Amino acid sequence: MATLLHLDSSLFPSDASSSRAVTAAFRRTWQEHHPEGTVIYRDLATNPVPHLTAGQTDPAAHTPAQAAAFAHRLTLIDELENADAVLIGAPMYNYSIPSTLKAWLDNIVLVGRTAGLENSKLKGTPVTVAASRGGSYAAGTPREGYEYVQNYLTAVLADTLALVVNFIVPELTMAVHNPAMSELIPLFEASRQRALDDATSTAKAIAHRIAA
């Protein structure tokens, strides 16, 4: 049976979050194709993982608190290693990812296990990232240089962990909330629908590939 690891990090509820809407569409399609499969879900906004406390120190030298934190870190790594596919909601906050998602990444990047190995268990695992943002940071836009979400996540997920990363990018999400952006609402709506369609088609493609 296939396992999907699903992470959300938006501080907004599902009806107000574009990244959650996209991950929900992906997950629905995934479960339609893997009804007997397993979904491991972590809402990092409501149940954040702890920040690192022990770093790369020798586990034998850990305090009891550090030992407990390291054990939890290994649980997070086990979840990732055992997943056939990964789904991440990563909204842009102040040009970067939420700190809760950064804490999760800090926990699962462990040199000698998930990073720095030629034959890591993670190599080739597909990861779909719903990278929503209030404006547009696409190539050629005035704020192109402020795009730190896709660049950063590519460096960590693809270059460091050898995962295969695909981004779905609903943008201009603030158009419906900011009167100064009201003329961009049609572009936002088109972007959102395209993202939802991409989520469905991507989930279906990955599900079929894993089943085969």
Q: Could you read off the pLDDT of 25-41 as tens digits, one per residue?
A: 999 999 999 999 999 99
Number of H helices, E strands in the chain: 5, 5
Question: Does residue 212 or residue 8 have the better pLDDT?
Answer: 8
Q: What gap in Å lies between CA 207 and CA 81, rounded to an integer?
A: 17
> Percentage of the chain with pLDDT > 70?
98
Q: Answer positive or negative: Cα dihedral of 76, 77, 78, 83.
A: positive
Q: What gap in Å lies between CA 165 and CA 156, rounded to an integer?
A: 10
Rg of the chain over Cα atoms, rounded to whole angstroms, equals 18
Report yes or no: 158 and 12 within 8 Å, Cβ to Cβ. no
Give the pLDDT score at 55.
Answer: 63
Asked if the model's pLDDT at residue 54 lies above 70, the reply is no
Confidence of residue 15 (pLDDT cuts 50, 70, 90): confident
Look up residue 77 and give its two tokens.
Answer: 């790594």
Q: What gap in Å lies between CA 149 and CA 93, rounded to an integer?
A: 9
